[in-house]
Amino acid sequence: MALKERVGTVVSDKMDKTVVVAVENRFPHPIYQKTVSRTKRYKAHDEANNCKVGDRVRITETRPLSRTKRWTVAEVLTTSATT
């Protein structure tokens, strides 16, 4: 069984040990072939609280950690320039 991975941008870090990651999916429209982008937000576990808003992160699927949290931050790819 392959683990699901997503790459997205942290949009909120206000919760303790949790970040909200927005993942953008781009695909061509089935009829008009225009590129359509859909954004989905995932709550991900951040044990060390080291992710900040604007960071690009990779998240992996895990067991349910709470009612809405099923992902964990695997690595921080790039940090935001607002430091």
> Distance between CA atoms of 14 and 58, rounded to whole angstroms?
19
Would 45 be classed as within a structural domain? yes
pLDDT digits (tens, 9 = 90+) for 3-52: 899 999 999 999 999 999 999 999 999 999 999 999 999 999 999 999 99
Domain of residue 54, CATH code = 2.40.50.140
Residue 60 pairs with which residues in a beta bridge?
5, 72
Tell whether 18 is covered by a domain.
yes
Residue 83 inside a domain? The answer is no
> Into how many domains does the chain fold?
1
pTM comes to: 0.89
Q: Which domain holds residue 15?
A: 5-78
**Quick one: which H or E segment has residue 21?**
strand 18-28
Pairing of strands 56-61, 18-28: unpaired
